[in-house]
Amino acid sequence: MKGIESLIKLHKFELDEKRRMLKELETVQANIVGAIDALEKQIINEQNSARQSEVVYAYGAFADASIKRREALQQSLVESTRQVEAARDVVTESFGELKKYEITKAVRDRAAEKEASRREGIFMDELGITVHSRKYNP
């Protein structure tokens, strides 16, 4: 019985580690989405500024750099999304393994409890028979 408890503890630890890694990947993904949103806002602000001032000539360089940065961020987001999905699959699989061990332990515990109850019943029956026989057969 001790072996299954050790396996459960080990799998819980591994599941916690995999969840932590998934959380880190989701944080990275959220940061990329935030960077994309910030870039979009910056582009809109620069467009408005370029329309209202004489620095229109500098906007072209900014637009080129922004397009390249947006593409890089989009690629990072795609890769991050792929990693998050893979990590979710790993967490799901690990959770399934943990549940398998927990269910096995529960089944074993119930069987042991049932056996202990059966043995106690046998003992109580024998005790009752002994007391009864001593009472009526001195």
Tell me the pLDDT band of 119, cut-offs 50, 70 and 90.
Answer: very high
Does the pTM of the predicted model rise above 0.75?
no
Sign for the pseudo-dihedral over CA of 79, 82, 88, 89: negative
In this predicted model, what pLDDT tens digit does every residue of 60-104 receive, in sequence order?
Answer: 788 888 899 999 999 999 999 999 999 999 999 999 999 999 999
Question: What mean pLDDT is predicted for residues 41-57?
Answer: 78
Residue-wise pLDDT tens digits, 12-33: 999 999 999 999 999 999 999 9
Question: CA 38 to CA 28: how far, in whole Å?
Answer: 15
